[in-house]
Amino acid sequence: MRWQEVRELFPDQFVLLSILDFRKEDGKKIITDMAPIRVIPEREANREFFNVGPQQLVYHTSNEECVIHLRTDPLVRMRRNL
């Protein structure tokens, strides 16, 4: 299923998705094919976001595209000027 179809079926909601296919482009993972698993109530979205299984994603349908921004070096800390 395409992202636009998911958006039409579940307008303005968090949805748990199974990622079926994607492409990488400019430091992003663009999800091109997915299967919706279930709607996530807004009050549970943060908890579900951190408890998803492999190849799953919690995403809100208000977004135009289903995109994951990839971090090239997630262990690097930013230094803050105090």
Give the largest Cα separation in the chain, rounded. Answer: 48
> Does some domain include residue 78?
no
Amino acid at 68: I
Tokens (6 digits) for 50: 């951190």
Indicate the number of domains in the chain: 1
Residue 77 maps to a domain: no
Instruction: Tell me which residue range forms the domain holding 53.
Output: 3-69
Q: Which has the higher per-residue pLDDT, 8 or 78? A: 8
In tens, the pLDDT along 11-53 reads 999 999 999 999 999 999 999 999 999 999 999 999 999 999 9
Contact assessment for residue 26 and residue 67, using Cβ atoms and an 8 Å cutoff: no
The whole model's pTM is what? 0.82
In a domain, 44, yes or no: yes
The total number of residues shown for the chain amounts to 82
CB contact set of 55 (below 8 Å; sequence gap of 6+): 18, 19
Q: Is residue 29 part of a domain?
A: yes
**Does a structural domain hold residue 47?**
yes
pLDDT at 77: 61
Q: Which tokens in the block code for residue 64?
A: 């135009």
